[in-house]
Amino acid sequence: MSNIEEPVQPQPRAVPVRWLVAIALIAGAAALIWVNGHSVLVRPFGRAPLNQIMAAPLILGFVIGWFVRSRIATRAARAAARRAAAKSASSD
């Protein structure tokens, strides 16, 4: 038997902090959209409910962020794969 203790590995969180922040922001935006349902004048389009005016950029920003993040993640994964392939080729 060995008296050497192995280091304790930290357990991953059940829900990542990033998701908690995203959920809180979405809930806050949803609450603002829900409360602001009155009609407002939007110059190029005429009158529209404020909640729709607020929801449009929220959805557009989410979609743009999703695509940008996926491109960055894909690029990073490709770079890591290239580095691993180069490392394994050089060790042969």
- Three-state SS annotation for 52-91: HHHHHHHHHHHHHHHHHHHHHHHHHHHHHHHHHHHHHHHH
In angstroms, the CA 77 to CA 55 distance is: 33
> In the prediction, which pLDDT does 64 show?
93
What's the one-letter identity of residue 59? I
Per cent of the chain over pLDDT 70 is: 95
pLDDT band at 87 (very low <50, low <70, confident <90, very high): confident
The predicted pLDDT at position 2 comes to: 59
Length of the chain: 92
For 57-70, write each residue's pLDDT tens digit.
888 998 999 888 88
E strands, 29-74, where?
39-42, 46-49
What digits encode the pLDDT tens for the residues 15-32?
A: 888 889 989 988 998 888
